[in-house]
Structure 1
Amino acid sequence: MVQKERGLITINNLSMLQNKSLSFLMISRVANTLAIQMLTVAVGWQIYSLTQSAFYLGLVGLVQFLPMIVLTLVVGHVADRYDRKLIISISQSVEALAVFLLAFGCYHGWINKESILIIIFLIGIANSFQGPPMQALLPNIVSEEIFPRAAALVASAFQFAVIIGPGLGGILYSLGPGVVYSITGSLMFLSSMLILFVSTRKEQVKTEPKSLKTLFAGISFIKSKPVILGAISLDLFAVLFGGATALLPIYASKILFIGSFGLGVLRSAPAVGALLMSAFLARNPLKKNVGRTMFMAVILFGIATVIFSLSKSFIISILALILLGASDVISVVIRSTFVQMETPDNMRGRVSSVNMLFIGTSNQLGEFESGLTASWFGTVPAVLIGGIGTIVVAFLWMRLFPDLLHIDKLEARK
């Protein structure tokens, strides 16, 4: 028998997918993620075609990161005071309009590297407002008992889109970048509509008065929880150094010689590993030694990055990226579950905004770091150094945050 309490999915559900809210959330995530992955391939290939520069590939990550670091405190405050679904919907609609502008520029022949960077910067602003409420939404849909399974299930849907999106983007790019951008904008707009059909179990707390204290509350909360600080900073530095994906256009063009479709395949490979692993975790949630498992996953991520950096074989490169994705999703599921379960609901927006800053730093700033080091040392040495750096960070964090290493179960600690 399916039981519900105020829209909350309970542990006795025969299937979490029977809940409409979770289904709408997953479909929305799939549509938006497909769009983002297609956009990433198109922008990366187009700007590299225009510039032949690793530095400009890095700039794409930097212009997405800058809005995040400037707006972090503001967007977290907004996510805790206003309707999270509406914030996500508006953010995705703005992203859609910006992508349609890219398509318009391609069709009318005025697109160049500067206009691409400016529009990606605008998309970065909109995405900054989307991230924290999206992270904070799932705990309002499912119960604490099944949150780890639900997080893995949502991750599976996300990774499915990450697999399909890059390859689809690479195929459509052969018809012209304007085609990719048009379809991408449409998917973003669809996602913005679907998210409005998600219903949550309770109203957000909105009575907390505005002040500098509430604005900085997310930072203060994380500082008071060394284990949370250790978890999100581990992701920051590990992925910051291991940002091989930013340089995939160069690997596809200059090292593996596989073209735009091959670039899409490379982009999809980490998601294949991540999908397989997240599906496994959804059916077999981690029950003990989760801290040690997370650190081992980060080390494996670094090893996979090293293998990829040195490979000149398309098959070995694909296998290394699959391993990279599988190890990464273990860390992501453990960290995201632990952070959300340790954070009270009225703080989740602000804590998530700080967490998103760490994630954005590791991803977008990591792309810039990869592009910069590649322009200094060369593509292969840059990725190799990054993979070694990730392994070093994992061992260092074991010493700095021993409580994180010894976490046994994914449950809220008293």
Structure 2
Amino acid sequence: MQKNDPYAALRIKEFNIFLVLRFALVLAWSMQFVVIEWQVYALTEDPLALGIIGLCEFLPAFLLAPFAGHIVDKKEKRDLFRLCIALFSLISFGLFWLTSETIESSWSTKTILYCIYGLVFFGGVLRSFFGPTIFSLIALLVPKRVYPNAATWSSSTWKGANVFGALLGGFLIAWIGVHITLGIIFLLVLLALFLVFQIKQKPILNKEVYESVRDSLEAGIRFVFNDKVILGALTLDMIAVLFGGAVAIFAVFAKDILDAGPKGFGILNAALSSGSIITMLATTYIPITKNTGKKLLISIFGFGVCMIIFGASKLMWLSVLALFFSGVFDGISMVVRQTILQLKTPDDMRGRVGAVNSMFVGSSNELGALESGIAARLFGAPMAVMLGGTVTLVVVTIMGAKNKPLRDLDLTKDIEEHEKEEV
């Protein structure tokens, strides 16, 4: 086995372009999420309204994901990615327009709110395509032996963009207001649209294979549910995000519990992501392919403990510290999960498996926002977060005891086999 090269994926030009593109796109999406959450809570002062935002994005992202995966496997990935970014630019511009003085002075608050929900719903439709498209495209940019390193850099870029997006979103709201911040977001999306043209079109690996939509969807779902390792990894991450996360109600903590205002709101969001990116960058030097399953279980357990501490905290410094370390554990679990998926998924099924991943994990962000909003309304925000963290601990304990293939997973041999194939 060759010596670990922490910069292996970065030696590929198109992958570097992809990272810059993804950073700009996720930075825009992350900032937009922060701004929308703040704006909607400012308009309604109701945590349930934050949950409705999650529902509006979850429904289309979840329901359309299987069909999106089928389409991704049959279409050219670069052009599909370009179309998704172009449509996302329309959403960003729409939100920018809705927060202008002209609209705010002539439209009712309810009308503006419903329009925001509509654009978020449209964003959910795009989310169903973004996940499997990106997952499939990465595999076409780098050789298989570099998948773990590429997964680490891609995940680090994603989290890094979340760090700056969350931080900038909160601070820019305070400095220049919601409207101009959304204008900057629109420009970032246009930058991503320009960069995607710098990546060449890629081959369609199963273009000649005919499958009905139904057979294609069944094959993808059957593959995931028959593989205990992939199913276990996706389930763990889904539960952690669905019940253990609290991002959707950070505005409640910042405004009503910690009395930290919009700047504190940005800091809370950034604390979670900053812990993740630091850890993920560290994994480029310290590979996670050995004892992979145990590392995944331990990281998600640690995430649950940190979220319980955050929910119980009334001090800003303790809340930030708890979120930072929850981000550390989240970073490990994200890199492990992405590496498992990249190495265990056949090339001709990446779109469908990426779609199932979006259903399990990506959509659980939005469903988790709804769960957090409802729980915060019923029990209060602190209790909602502590209950969610407790559920995460229970599930990861059961999974560790029952799923032996996941618990004993070690990816070292998989990497060695791919290296031999490419020599």
Same fold, TM-score > 0.5, yes or no: yes
How big is each residue's C-alpha offset from its partner over 1:246-281, in whole Å with a ceiling of 9 and x where there is no partner?
110000000111111211111111111111101100
- Tell me if 1:162 matches 2:162: yes
Partner of 2:36: 43
In the TM superposition, what is the alpha-carbon distance from 1:342 to its structure 2 partner? 0.9
Label 1:105 to 1:338 Cα distance change in 2 as closer, same or farther (>3 A).
same
2:25 aligned with 1:24, yes or no?
Answer: no
In structure 2, distance between residues paired with 1:284 and 1:355: 25
Q: Post-superposition shift, 1:80?
A: 0.4
Please, which of 266, 270, 273 is the counterpart of residue 272 of structure 2?
270
C-alpha deviation, 1:320, in angstroms = 0.7
Paired residue for 1:383? Answer: 385
Answer whether contact 1:139 1:147 (CA < 8 A) is retained. yes
Question: In 2, Cα distance between the equivalents of 1:210 and 1:223?
Answer: 20
Distance 1:253 1:348, change over 3 A: same
User: In structure 2, how many angstroms separate the alpha carbons of the residues matched to 1:322 and 1:13?
Assistant: 24
Following superposition, the deviation at residue 39 of structure 1 comes to 0.5
Amino acid corresponding to residue 161 of structure 1 in structure 2? A
1:411, distance to aligned residue in structure 2 (A): 5.2
27-36 vs 120-129, greater mean Cα deviation = 120-129
2:325 equivalent among 320, 323, 326: 323
Scaled by the length of structure 2, what TM-score is found? 0.91
Call closer, same or farther: CA 1:117–1:411 in 2, change over 3 Å.
Answer: farther
Deviation at 1:29, TM superposition (A): 0.8
Deviations 1:37-73 (Å, cap 9, x if unpaired)? 1111110110001111111111111111100122112
Q: Corresponding residue for 1:3?
A: none
Q: Which residue of 2 aligns with 1:207?
A: 208
Match of 1:117 in 2: 117
Q: Give the letter for the 2:164 counterpart.
A: I
Contact 2:62 2:358 in 1 (8 A): no
1:364 pairs, out of 366, 386, 410, with: 366
1:288 is paired with a residue whose SS is: coil
Map 1:292-331 → 2, pairs under 5 A = 292-331=294-333
How far residue 362 of structure 1 moved from its aligned partner, in angstroms, is 2.3
TM-score by length of 1: 0.93
**Which amino acid counterpart does residue 122 of structure 1 have in structure 2?**
F
Runs of 5+ consecutive residues of structure 1 not aligned to the other structure: 1-9
Q: Measure the CA separation in 2 of the matches of 1:288 and 1:127.
A: 32
Q: 1:204 to 1:194 in 2, by over 3 A?
A: farther
The match for 1:290 among 287, 292, 296 is 292
Contact 1:11-1:146 at 8 Å conserved across structures: no
Same amino acid, percent of matched pairs:
34
The amino acid across from 2:382 in the alignment is V
Give the secondary-structure state (helix, strand or coil) at the position aligned to 1:209: coil
Q: 1:3-402 counterparts in 2 under 5 A?
A: 15-107=8-100, 108=102, 109=104, 110=107, 112-174=112-174, 175-199=176-200, 202-211=203-212, 212-402=214-404
Offset, 1:390 = 0.6
Cα 1:14–1:353 shift into 2, 3 Å: closer
Q: Please give the alpha-carbon distance, in whole angstroms, between the structure 1 residues aligned to 2:395 and 2:6.
A: 40
Report the CA distance between 1:201 and its aligned residue: 7.0
Give the CA deviation at 1:311. Answer: 0.9
* Alpha-carbon shift at residue 210 of structure 1 (Å): 3.4
The 3-state SS of whatever aligns with 1:329 is helix
What is the RMSD of the two structures over their aligned residues, measured on CA atoms?
A: 1.9
Alpha carbons 1:73, 1:353 under 8 Å: kept: yes
* 1:331-353 CA-partner distances (Å, limit 9, x unpaired): 11111111121111110001110
Alpha-carbon deviation of 1:300?
A: 0.3
- The amino acid of 2:232's aligned partner reads G
Moved over 3 A (4+): 10-16, 199-203, 410-414
Matched residues in 2 for 1:91 and 1:181: separation? 19
- The total of aligned residue pairs comes to 405
Q: Can you list the C-alpha shifts for 1:111-154, whole angstroms capped at 9, x where unaligned?
A: 62211111111111122111111012112222222211221122
> For the residues of structure 2 that align with 1:202 and 1:103, how far apart are their CA atoms?
37
Q: Deviations over 1:315-367 (max 9, x none)?
A: 11111111111101111111111112111111000111011110134211011
Deviation, structure 1 residue 288:
1.6
**Residues 200/83 of structure 1: CA separation in 2 closer, same or farther (3 Å cut):** closer
Cα distance between partner residues in 2 of 1:206 and 1:411: 31
Change (3 A) 1:128 1:31: same
Relative to structure 1, is the Cα distance of residues 406 and 116 closer, same or farther in structure 2, using a 3 angstrom cutoff?
same
Contact 1:136 1:349 in 2 (8 A): yes
